[in-house]
Amino acid sequence: MTMPAWLDGRLRLPAIASPMFIVSQPELVLAECRGGIVGAFPSLNARPPGTFEAWLRRLRRELTDGDAPFAVNLIVHRTNARLEEDLALCVRYEVPIVITSLGARADVNDAIHGYGGLVLHDVIDDRFARKAIEKGADGLVAVAAGAGGHAGTLSPFALVQEIRAWFDGPLALSGAIATGGAIAAARAMGADLAYIGSAFIATEEANAEQAYKDMIVASSARDILYSPLFTGVHGNYLRPSIVKSGLDPDNLPDTAGSQMSFGDASGGRKAWRDVWGCGQGIGAVNKVVPAAALIERLATEYHAALRRLAA
């Protein structure tokens, strides 16, 4: 397995905090990077116009070489009207890591490689993984069953082993990872990095309603529902939030969204604003804490798991 030395050497834990729509904003990203893991956010979280550049400028100004690098998630699907503008800003500010989603584009990868940036592309199966690498992605985020938000259906064991049969580059694994032991397990099965999302929603820095954070603390894996209804793409959501929005999670409409939609951070569709994405790992989350405290717990558990394996 191959990880860039500049990345591996700056991480306290082999982990990326996943970019979550609405939730991941500069305060959370800064706390994650200062804690020693890659902090990430979707460019579409930055609204109104000019906000994305302001966020990039702030991250470049406040993070140091002693912190972990940050990442930006770009939706490269044709429905994202902001892609070209946001890509140009990523190039201008030399974003260290760009995570691309919903389509692989060689021109996007070439632009990021032009300044030495690293491109990771998220995939839900081996076929999409091969396409991403063919288009020039440096590495992959394997989104397995149980991941929050838009997620796949394959077991992490199956997904990682199929990808590792032919790919030796950077590989992150997403799917119900909320403990240090799970980070160690991801490494043991062949991933370089764990990709952790839902646990960071229940942190003080997360841009989420207190009710959302409290619902995560009160919920467990059985409270997660997988559905394509809300954005046109299958994803995992908190059942209580679906109930709260006025729908019956056991009797959702048969017709899924006809087109992909990524909503608006200021409102619009119910998805992400009123119906809350979440992964199956939240049984490990029992209180709202600062991001630094969560990373400290993960680190303690991770090293304890390594000691158990060594013994």
Q: Tell me the average pLDDT across 55-76.
A: 97
pLDDT digits (tens, 9 = 90+) for 121-144: 999 999 999 999 999 999 999 999
pLDDT (0 to 100) of residue 2: 75
Q: Tell me the average pLDDT across 74-81.
A: 92
> What does DSSP assign to residue 202?
T
| Largest CA-CA distance found in the chain, in angstroms, rounded | 54
Buried b (16+ CB within 10 A) or exposed e, 101-134: bbbbbeebbebbeeeebbbbbbbbbbebbbebbe
Q: Is the pLDDT of residue 59 over 90?
A: yes
44 vs 246: CA distance, rounded Å: 27
pLDDT (0 to 100) of residue 265: 39
191 vs 1: CA distance, rounded Å: 8
The separation between the first and the last C-alpha atoms of the chain, rounded to the nearest angstrom, is 24
Go through the domains of the chain in sequence order and give each one's CATH number: 5-207+280-310 (3.20.20.70)
- Of all residues in the chain, the percent with pLDDT exceeding 70 is 94
Q: Is the pLDDT of residue 8 over 90?
A: no
* Predicted TM-score (pTM) of this structure: 0.94
